Amino acid sequence: MKKALIIVLAIAFGLGTVPMSSMAANTARTDSRTLAISEPVVETVGISISAENFADQFSGEPSKRRAASTKSRSYTALALSSIVINGADISFIATLSADAGEEHLPLKGRLSAGFKSQQGINSIIVNVTDNNAAYNVLLFEIFNAYEKDNLLIEPTLFAKPHVKFYMQDKAGQLYLFETELPEIFSKLEASQYKPSDSRNDALWAAGLAKYEITELPVDDEILGKLGLDDQAKMKLSASAALPYSGSTLARGLSTETRWQPTVNSTSYYIGTILHRFYSLPYIDYLHTNVRSSDSTWYARLRIAESLEYNGFVFYGQNFFAYKDIDFKFACGEKTNIIRTYHDGRAYAAMPSGTVFTLFENAVSTVPAGAAIATILNLFNSMRTWNPSYALSSTYSCTSGSVAEGAKLLGSRYILHENSYGGSSGHWFEYQVVTKFVIPSGGTNAAVNTVGAFKFEFDAIEYYTGLPVKHYSDYATLSYNAAP
C-alpha cells in the first residue's frame, strides 16, 4: 500500500463544529438536533477491483466463483472529511487514494432508513444525491446492529456494527471499504428517517450481479411470499383471477374483476447472501349498467412484491418496476363518458414535468348494434395531448365522448412498491363516469350493449431501466344502457 489512510469525520448537527480535546468529552449538544465533533474517528483501507472481477468473485453461486487473486485487486484508501449532518441532510468530502493519485469528491445526500430496518435492524443508508461526474457511490451504509450481515472484505466485522462505503468510477472500477462503526454514528436511529431508495440499498449491486429473470405461475406458495394480507391472498388466488390471455372477458356487472399475469422473479448472490425477488402486477376493474345518473367504471393497477434476504422478507426494495401505464375505456350504444379521474401513488422519477398523455374519441354516439370489434376500433382513432394535470385530478370530457384514456408517463412516475405488506405501496387508478344519452333521431328505449377496457404497461429492471416485458390486453364489458 502506497498511502497511509486517515479518515477524519468533522461532524456538525445544526450550528457547526465545537472543538473538544477528546472524543469521549468531545461531544456537545446544543439542542435535540445539534451535535459536534472534530477529532479523527476512523482509519481503514479497502480494495479496488474491476466490475468483471467483482462479478466473478463476489456474485454467482459461491461454489462456482473464481478464486480471488492479488492480480485482480489492489489496495486503496479513502478519507471522509468535512462531514456535516443537519437533520436528514448530509454533506462530506470523500478523498480517494489509489495508484493514480488522489481524488477529492465533495458530495451531498440524505440519511434514510435502510430496508433491513423493516426487521428492527438499525441500518441507515446515505442516499447520495449529487454523485461526482467521475464516481458513483453505490452503497454507504451505517450498520449499527449485532445481527449477521453481508460483508465482502472484512469478515472480522461479521455480526458487529460497521460502515460500508462502496463506489465505482466511470470506467467500471470498484472501490470497496468496510470499517468499524465510529462512535459518532452510534447515535443515529433508522426510525428517525424516511425509507431509502432501493437503488442505493438492497439493489446497489443489481448492475453488477449475475442473474436470470424467470416467470413463475401464481400458486399458494408464491402468494405466501408476496406480502399480502389474508383478504388480498383470497382475491389474488389462481382460481379467482383471470389468466393472461389476449382477450379477457369480464365476469359480470358491478363485480370487481381481476387480471393477473405470471410472477416476475430473479435472484442473485452478493457475497454470501442470496437476494431473491418476486413481483406481480395485477389489475382490478369494474363496470356497471349505465343510467341517466352518473355511473362510474374504473381500473386500478397494484403490485404484490417481496425480497427474500438473509432469512427475512422485505418490501419496497424490488428488482422489478412498472411504467407507462396506459388505461383506456370505450362505451357502447346510447352512452357517453362525461368526465374522468386519475389517482395513485408512485415514485417520482423526475421532480417535475408532464404527468399524462390523455386520449379521447368524441363521435357523439356509437352505432346501434356495434360489436366488440367496432368498440375496440374506437381506440385506434383517439386524439392525444399532454396536459398539466396532477396525479390526482379530474378531466371534463368533450361533448359526445365515447372513448377516454390516460397514460401515466414512465419518464415521470415509476411503480415498484408492494401495495400491501410493509409499505404504503404504489398504485394507479383510472375512472370514467358514464351517462345514458339519446342519439339524434333515436328513442330512450333501453339497450344491451358492450364497451371495452384496454391496458398496456411495461415491466423494467428498476436499477438499470432495462426492459423486461410489455403487457397488453383488453376486456369486453357487457352492460345495459337505459334512462
Residue 166: all three cell numbers together: 462502496
Task: Quote the mean pLDDT of the chain.
Answer: 84
**Residues 75/44, Cβ–Cβ less than 8 Å:** no
pLDDT band at 10 (very low <50, low <70, confident <90, very high): very low
Mean pLDDT over 378-407 rounds to 92
| Predicted local distance difference test score (pLDDT) of residue 251 | 53
Query: In the predicted model, is pLDDT for residue 265 greater than 60?
Result: yes
pLDDT digits (tens, 9 = 90+) for 106-143: 999 999 999 999 999 999 999 998 877 889 999 999 99
| Predicted local distance difference test score (pLDDT) of residue 242 | 44
pLDDT digits (tens, 9 = 90+) for 26-83: 433 434 454 444 444 556 799 999 999 999 999 988 888 877 766 667 889 998 888 8
Q: What is the pTM of this model?
A: 0.86
pLDDT digits (tens, 9 = 90+) for 213-226: 999 988 878 887 88
| Predicted local distance difference test score (pLDDT) of residue 32 | 43
Q: Report CA Rg, the chain.
A: 27
Percent of the chain with pLDDT over 90: 61
Mean pLDDT over 344-369 rounds to 86
**Partner residues linked to 178 by β-bridges:** 164
Percent of the chain with pLDDT over 70: 83
pLDDT band at 2 (very low <50, low <70, confident <90, very high): very low
pLDDT digits (tens, 9 = 90+) for 305-349: 999 999 999 988 999 999 999 999 999 999 999 999 999 989 888
CA–CA gap between residue 470 and residue 311 (Å, rounded): 32
